[in-house]
Amino acid sequence: MTQEITITRLGHQGDGIAPGPIYVPRALPGEVVSGTPEGDTLAEMQVVTPSPHRVSPPCRHYRACGGCQLQHASDAFVADWKQDVVRAALSAQGVEAALRPIHTSPPRSRRRATISVRRTKKGTLAGFHGRASDVITEIPDCQLLDPALLAAIPVAQALALLGGSRKGVLAVTLTLSEAGLDVSVSGGKPLDGPFEASLALIAEQHGLARLAWEGEVIASRHSPVQRFGKANVVPPPGAFLQATKDGEAALLSAVREIVGSAKRVADLFAGCGTFSLPLAETAEVHAVEGEASMTTALDQGWRRAQGLKRLSTEARDLFRRPLLPDELRRFDAVVLDPPRAGAEAQVTELTRAKPPVIAYVSCNPVTFARDAKTLTQAGYRLNWVQVVDQFRWSAHVELAASFSLAHIGG
């Protein structure tokens, strides 16, 4: 039975929320909407009274595609909402901070995406899944991806025709590198000699820099280099990379400002060197990352670069074995860039070691706020937070934050 409800707020996943709670995808606060209640969601939603912040989605695929959640809202609304998400997370922990104006990456700037591909009777279907659905939506006019990435979808289709099945979905991760397209595939059929030869032929035909299948490199015509500062790094297949060059530059700028003139820096959860290598232009850096393949790539990039200061690497699980105070006290500044779980164990050790400056980069405002509370209770000042929106039109929020010991200032 159709029901009318009023949306009171936006949830962390970008859904409108009405009292109950009832969750309504693609609704905005203040809107009156109608639809059919199904459990705690409203199906077949129709807008009765639109919000002044509602806009026409810039992408024609938006209604069917699940790649974006917030194209129906104005850029100004999304920017304010993402700032408020961070502010509310901090407030829930009793922490206050000055928020700088948000930095938003431009449309068509995503340099990496995982395309879902399924074989069909007529060929293939490639694109993004619909919201909470196994239906794949084709995305020829996607407003999110870099045009060079969008042009590479035929590569994903060719790989599915060769190594996919009608029952399963092939996940093809496409990444733009300095040397061309870096492709990593999962969910396909097992490798054997003839199949590997056929995959290598596809890599040659499409001019791929590198092709990996279930983590195994099949072809590497050119090193799929990512440039971090003065260094060229060849990440392992599927390794973490900031979503846009623009967003990476914004985060790096914030980290550089926080670290300042520090001469000895620890970069924890360092990945392949997004921050370590640029910081090594002015400081000695110790980079710690859980994946040994990433620290190896980082080290090789540093060794090939010119004009960088000493950089050491360590493969170490910082969740189970955080750096301890006696290891941390030799650093003037610490950079943290943990995954969504945050850095609870490592932050505890930081409060004991008390390095003068901490640059915290986060992809989860909730765990960041938890860790920020721990730091501020231990005598750190949260000087400012810079929200960076490189996942445009999504509910995802990233940030960089400046911490310093209260008696030092920031």
Residues 6+ apart with CB under 8 A from 252: 274, 275, 278
CB contact burial 23-44 (16+ within 10 A = b; e otherwise): bbbbbbbbbbbebeeeeebbee
Helices 193-205 and 153-163 sit at what angle, rounded to 10 degrees?
A: 160
- The CA distance from 89 to 339, in Å, is 17
Residues 6+ apart with CB under 8 A from 147: 108
- The CA distance from 123 to 125, in Å, is 7
Residues shown for the chain: 410
Amino acid at 36: T
How many helices, marked H, and strands, marked E, lie in the chain? 10, 23
CB atoms within 10 A of CB 234: 23
Q: Tell me whether residue 68 is one of the annotated catalytic residues.
A: no
Amino acid at 409: G
Residues 6+ apart with CB under 8 A from 192: none
Tell me 54's DSSP state: B
Catalytic residue chosen out of the listed positions 65, 68, 142, 363 = 363
Beta bridge partners of 265: 285, 333
Q: Is 337 annotated as a binding residue?
A: yes
The distance of Cα 390 from the centroid of its chain, to the nearest Å, equals: 8
Quickly list DSSP for 152-220: THHHHHHHHHHH--SSS-EEEEEEEETTEEEEEEES-PPP-HHHHHHHHHHHHHTT-SEEEETTEEEEE
Q: Is 289 annotated as a binding residue?
A: yes
- The CA distance from 410 to 405, in Å, is 8
State the sign of the Cα–Cα–Cα–Cα dihedral 147, 151, 157, 158.
negative
Q: Is 44 annotated as a binding residue?
A: no
Known binding-site positions for S-adenosyl-L-methionine: 242, 269, 289, 337
Residue numbers in the known binding site are 242, 269, 289, 337
Residues known to be catalytic:
363
